[in-house]
Amino acid sequence: MLELMGKGGWIMWPLLVCSIIAAVLFLERVFHLHRAQIKRDDFLGGIYTIVNRGNMTEAISICDQTPGPVAYVVRTALLHYDEQGEVLKRTIDKAGLSEIPRLEKNLGGLLTIAQIAPLLGLLGTVLGLMMVFMLMNHHAPLAEIGDLAGGIWQALITTAAGLCISIPSFAGYNFLLSRVDAITLDMEHAAEDIYHFLTYERVNGNTDHETNQST
């Protein structure tokens, strides 16, 4: 490995840094998104049961203890339970939108590395070929392959290194993006479900109150 780093020239060091950053960003996002994705139906079912018992504080506390955007959106809805229908819906939607940037955090960095790594490799290739032609000109007409080997090695190694970093980085980016899309869809469904649940419960509550007054 160290021998290849030496033959690849100084351009291998930026490529090495890119590979380390890409690995850190990918692992951090995998861990974060794994924690953020919960079983929506089971979570909402538990919240509905607790709210139906009249224990809104406990329901909010469970949301506080549960990671991820689904729990945050549900918590926001519970905290604004007494708002009018359209106002409540806008509040829930706003909470959902605020969670999307958190889910997509660092994805841009991973995509950037996937795009610039092959360009760095190409730069190394160009520098290597420039070295080859400079040596050919310097040793002409008796240039030997041994004199040119350094530049050829640099051209080949940097191109390979750039591709080896770019391909998994781009694959990782698309994998994480699919996870973000799945969590976002869960969040949207949860927002719609909790809105209809709270609206229905409020109507029942008002109806029961009016019935008691009539009696």
Q: For 74-125, write each residue's pLDDT tens digit.
A: 999 998 888 777 888 899 999 999 999 999 999 999 999 999 999 999 998 8
Predicted pLDDT of residue 143: 56
CB neighbour list of residue 184: distance below 8 Å, 6 or more residues apart:
69, 100, 103
Q: Taking all residues of the chain, what is their mean pLDDT, rounded to a whole number?
A: 83
- Six token digits for residue 99: 């969670």
Predicted pLDDT of residue 73: 93
Greater pLDDT, 56 or 110:
110
Residues 119 and 138 sit within 8 Å (Cβ to Cβ): no
- List, as own/partner pairs, every contact residues 148-155 make where C-beta atoms lie below 8 angstroms and the sequence separation is at least 24, other chains included: 150/7, 152/128, 153/7, 153/8, 153/128, 154/7, 154/8, 154/9, 154/11, 154/124, 154/125, 154/127, 154/128, 155/124, 155/125, 155/126, 155/127, 155/128, 155/129
Lowest mean pLDDT: which of 25-34, 186-195, 198-207? Answer: 198-207
Q: Is the pLDDT of residue 211 over 50?
A: no
Q: For 111-162, write each residue's pLDDT tens digit.
A: 999 999 999 999 988 888 887 767 666 666 665 666 566 677 778 888 999 9
Predicted pLDDT of residue 198: 84
Q: Is the pLDDT of residue 21 over 90?
A: yes
Q: Is the pLDDT of residue 14 over 50?
A: yes
pTM, two decimal places: 0.80
Predicted pLDDT of residue 175: 96
Ordered by start, the domain boundaries in the chain are 2-115+158-209
Instruction: Kindly state the average pLDDT of the residues 194-211.
Output: 58
d(CA 115, CA 108): 11
Confidence category of residue 22, pLDDT binned at 50, 70, 90: very high
Confidence category of residue 28, pLDDT binned at 50, 70, 90: very high
CB neighbour list of residue 51: distance below 8 Å, 6 or more residues apart:
59, 78, 197, 201
Lowest mean pLDDT: which of 27-36, 50-59, 123-132, 184-193? Answer: 123-132
Predicted pLDDT of residue 210: 36
Greater pLDDT, 20 or 200:
20
d(CA 190, CA 43): 10
d(CA 24, CA 137): 44
